[in-house]
């Protein structure tokens, strides 16, 4: 991405996935102010045809209840990624 281009939440999430390989809702909120991560992931999957899988992570909340959250993992296809980055 050229440095003069304006960053938006979708681009930020896309770059995060490329750099770290995964993202959670909490990371998206904390780092990028993105409160609708599932919508961004939906668009990345459908508009850009990226292979992003969802892994359920189980945990126990502060009240002792079992719960889970989604961890979105980018399955990298280097050729597709290069084309997407060069297009931006």
Q: Work out whether strand 66-74 and strand 52-60 pair parallel, antiparallel, or are unpaired.
A: antiparallel
User: CB neighbours of 29 closer than 8 A, spacing ≥ 6?
Assistant: 35, 37
Listed by start position, the domains of the chain span 9-77
What are 9-47's pLDDT values in tens digits? 999 999 999 999 999 999 999 999 999 999 999 999 999
- Residue 49, pLDDT > 60, answer yes
First-to-last CA distance in the chain? 6
Q: What is the pLDDT of residue 7?
A: 80
Pick the CATH number of 9-77 from 2.30.30, 3.30.70, 1.10.10, 1.10.150: 1.10.10
- Residue 78, pLDDT > 60, answer no
Q: What is the pLDDT of residue 53?
A: 95
């Amino acid at each position: 991405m050229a440095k003069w281009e304006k960053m938006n939440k979708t681009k930020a999430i896309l770059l995060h996935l490329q750099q770290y390989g995964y993202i959670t809702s909490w990371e998206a909120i904390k780092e990028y102010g993105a409160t609708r991560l599932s919508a961004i992931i939906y668009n990345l999957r459908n508009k850009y045809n990226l292979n992003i899988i969802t892994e359920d992570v189980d945990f126990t909340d502060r009240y002792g209840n079992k719960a889970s959250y989604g961890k979105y993992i980018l399955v990298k296809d280097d050729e597709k990624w290069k084309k997407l980055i060069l297009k931006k």
